């Protein structure tokens, strides 16, 4: 029996499907842990294949490659260095499990399978994995370690089983995606499990972006007396060393780093930066291109892109038409200059005229309206996609959640693009983040310090500029009202009568509900974007396109 244990916590950024690359990261982290005399190094959930692997994990060749990587890593532990605790899919007796494995002395010394498979929001594990049986602890260098995997600690049963079967320390590998205010929720869950079990707990989370999900890291250790022994940084890869000692009160982790965890607007901004950075990097795009209209949405997306990738990888294009104001042209140019990006102006008068002329005989005798307005947006979309195709940069789309909710966007026009960093941000949040970025320099960002968005972009009334003197509020309620009603409908699923009872006009609420429902077909064709709320459009909120229901209130 040992009275000391040194555990290295590898908070890293895997890439889904890149088993060789993830294995290389694991080997390097183990090397770092060995230099610091660690007894064991721990990795996040399903680290060897990246999380979440979705249906990729059902592919037999993928399963074989993952298990071969486990065997390779296990063989390396024959060198007498640190043991390894790592996550991987595992096939046992024809069943596929979300597994966590103990590798030591050149062998697979133990394994445990995830019991509570999440099946809500972005998670769909019940359709790909078999739930494990109630687990017992693993013996790691003479210490009985309980390993509940991620969701296993969100209810009491698994931890209760581990403590009753002799567990001494709880090590929890996680693939826990970010959403606003989730840090407090995690810590409350952890404290509940510590209170019930009397055991100290390590919460190790991955970091990085994967499609629409973004993982914030922020791993921590809480002792059995509820004291925080370690707080790792959010939004950064790191390998932290924790020192443990057996006492008459059980195992205790010595005090270590206490990183400051970003909150509120800062955490949201870092989330969209991380999500965009990893989407571009992991998909191997050389950079991004976007239309810079002189409006606040495209200005914020440009700032996020520069902070994520650097100004040399961002190309902004102004596409003016006869209704584009001199003010917008001036503001777009100033924004591009502040950000230091490549900037071009491509007028669309000729392309729009070409479409109009081609349709003239067909449209003869009809009144000009939204169809002709959409030709402007679609001309811009075609040009931006051509630039993307020619130079290989991914096209960013710039619609906020308020617009995405009510369909205030044009399919095959301003909705063109491969990724949308602000897809899950309501318009008022776009304003708030723009002001925040002008006043702060976020950590690990590559953009300039100081003001990056011209003040006039933030203060002047939003407009699509598709007709003379157009304002968003000509077609939509004021954004303060629209966002509040949408939050009630989308985030809280409130009844119409309950929203009206809060003081909102019935006609406004019913119209917003109508627009929300009839715009589902557009959202199905929209680019992915960073998940920020608990109810992003996609797997969090799966509504039918054909939908005859309306709340009768």
Q: Is 429 annotated as a binding residue?
A: no
The reply to whether 282 sits in an annotated binding site is: no
Using an 8 Å Cβ cutoff, are 7 and 244 in contact?
yes
Q: Please tell me whether 267 is known to bind a ligand.
A: no
Q: Is 87 annotated as a binding residue?
A: no
DSSP sequence for 315-339: EEEE---TTS-HHHHHHHHHHHHHH
To the question of whether residue 298 is assigned a binding role by annotation, the answer is: yes
Beta strands 288-291 and 138-140, pairing class: unpaired
How many Cα neighbours within 13 Å face the side chain of 184? 4
Catalytic residue among 114, 282, 427, 531: 114
CA 433, 439, 445 angle in degrees (round to 5)? 75
Question: Is 390 a catalytic site residue?
Answer: no
Active site residue 72: no
Using alpha carbons, list the distances in angstroms from residue 77 to 106, 112, 301. 5, 19, 45
Q: Tell me whether strands 342-345 and 314-318 are parallel, antiparallel or unpaired.
A: parallel
Q: ∠ CA 218-219-221 to the nearest 5 degrees?
A: 135
| Residue 475 φ/ψ, nearest 5 degrees | -110, -20
Query: DSSP state, 261?
Result: P
292 in a known ligand binding site = yes
Pairwise CA distance, residues 517 & 433, whole Å: 28
Cβ pair 516, 408 in contact under 8 A: no
293 in a labelled binding site: yes
Asked if 445 is an active-site residue, the reply is no
Catalytic residue among 4, 24, 25, 45: 45
The answer to the question of whether 398 is labelled as a binding residue is yes
CB within 8 Å of 93: residues ≥ 6 apart: none
CA atoms of 52 and 483, how far apart (whole Å): 31
Question: Does the annotation place 295 within a ligand binding site?
Answer: yes
Question: DSSP per residue over 19-84, as a string?
Answer: HHHHHHHHHHHHHHHHHTT-SEEE--TTTTT-S--GGGGG-HHHHHHHHHHHHHHHHHGGGS--EE
Do residues 143 and 252 touch, judged by C-beta distance below 8 A? no
| Max Cα–Cα distance, the chain, nearest Å | 91
Report the distance separating Cα 45 and Cα 65, nearest Å: 17
- Does 37 belong to an annotated binding site? no
**Is residue 120 a known part of a binding site?**
yes
Helix (H) or strand (E) holding 134: none
> Among 25, 125, 150, 266, which one carries the catalytic annotation?
150
Give the C-alpha separation, 178 to 238, whole Å: 18
Q: Binding residue per annotation — 167?
A: no
Residue 102 and residue 182: Cα distance in Å, rounded?
29
Residue matched to tokens 């005090």: 255
Q: Whose structure tokens read 């606003």?
A: 180
The region that residue 181 occupies, defined by phi over 0 for left and psi between -120 and 50 for alpha, beta otherwise, is: left
449 annotated as a binding-site residue: no
What's the distance, CA 440 to chain centroid?
Answer: 22
Active site (catalytic) residues: 45, 114, 150
Question: Would you list which residues are annotated within the binding site for deamido-NAD(+)?
Answer: 374, 403, 522
Question: Would you list which residues are annotated within the binding site?
Answer: 120, 176, 182, 291-298, 374, 398, 403, 522
Question: Would you list which residues are annotated within the binding site for ATP?
Answer: 291-298, 398
Question: Would you list which residues are annotated within the binding site for L-glutamine?
Answer: 120, 176, 182
């Amino acid at each position: 029996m040992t009275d000391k244990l040194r555990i290295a916590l590898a908070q890293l950024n895997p890439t889904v499907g890149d088993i060789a690359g993830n294995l290389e990261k694991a080997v390097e982290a183990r090397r770092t842990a060995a230099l610091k005399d660690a007894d064991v190094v721990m990795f996040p959930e399903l680290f060897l294949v990246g999380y979440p692997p979705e249906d990729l994990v059902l592919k037999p060749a993928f399963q074989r490659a993952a298990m071969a990587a486990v065997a390779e890593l296990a063989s390396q532990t024959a060198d007498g260095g640190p043991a390894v605790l790592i996550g991987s899919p595992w096939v046992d007796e024809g069943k596929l499990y979300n597994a966590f494995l103990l590798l030591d002395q050149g062998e697979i010394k133990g394994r445990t399978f995830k019991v509570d498979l999440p099946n809500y929001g972005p998670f769909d594990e019940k359709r790909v994995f078999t739930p494990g049986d109630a687990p017992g602890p693993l013996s790691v260098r003479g210490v009985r370690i309980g390993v509940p995997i991620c969701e296993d600690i969100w209810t009491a049963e698994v931890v209760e089983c581990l403590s009753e079967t002799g567990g001494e320390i709880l090590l929890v590998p996680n693939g826990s995606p970010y959403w606003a205010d989730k840090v407090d929720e995690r810590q409350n869950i952890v404290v509940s499990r510590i209170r019930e079990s009397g055991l100290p707990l390590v919460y190790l989370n991955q970091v990085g972006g994967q499609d629409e999900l973004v993982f914030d890291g922020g791993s921590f250790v809480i002792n059995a007396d509820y004291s925080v022994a370690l707080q790792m940084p959010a939004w950064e890869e790191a390998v932290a060393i924790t020192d443990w000692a057996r006492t008459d009160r059980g195992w205790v982790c010595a005090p270590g780093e206490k990183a400051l965890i970003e909150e509120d607007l800062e955490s949201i901004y870092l989330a969209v930066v991380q999500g965009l950075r990893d989407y571009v990097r992991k998909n191997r795009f050389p950079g991004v291109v976007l239309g810079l209209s002189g409006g606040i949405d495209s200005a914020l997306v440009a700032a996020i892109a520069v902070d994520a990738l650097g100004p040399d990888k961002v190309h902004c294009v102004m596409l003016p038409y006869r209704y584009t104001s001199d003010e917008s042209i001036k503001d777009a140019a100033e924004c591009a200059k502040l950000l230091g990006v490549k900037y071009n102006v491509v007028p669309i008068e000729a392309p729009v005229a070409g479409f109009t002329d081609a349709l003239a005989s067909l449209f003869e005798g009809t009144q000009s309206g939204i169809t002709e307005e959409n030709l402007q947006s679609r001309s811009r979309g075609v040009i931006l996609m051509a630039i993307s195709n020619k130079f290989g940069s991914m096209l960013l789309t710039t619609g906020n959640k308020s617009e995405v909710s009510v369909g205030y966007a044009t399919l095959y026009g301003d909705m063109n693009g491969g990724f949308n960093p602000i897809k899950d941000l309501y318009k008022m949040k776009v304003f708030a983040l723009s002001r925040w970025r002008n006043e702060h320099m976020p950590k690990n960002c590559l953009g300039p310090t100081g003001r990056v968005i011209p003040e006039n972009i933030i203060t002047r009334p939003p407009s699509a500029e598709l007709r003379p003197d157009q304002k968003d509020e000509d077609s939509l309620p004021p954004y303060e009202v629209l966002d509040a009603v949408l939050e009630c409908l989308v985030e809280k699923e409130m009844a119409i009568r309950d929203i009206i009872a809060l003081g909102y006009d019935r006609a406004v609420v019913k119209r917003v509900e109508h627009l929300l429902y009839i715009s589902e077909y557009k959202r199905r064709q929209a680019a992915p974007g960073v998940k920020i709320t608990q109810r992003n459009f996609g797997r969090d909120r799966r509504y039918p396109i054909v939908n005859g229901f309306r709340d009768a209130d």
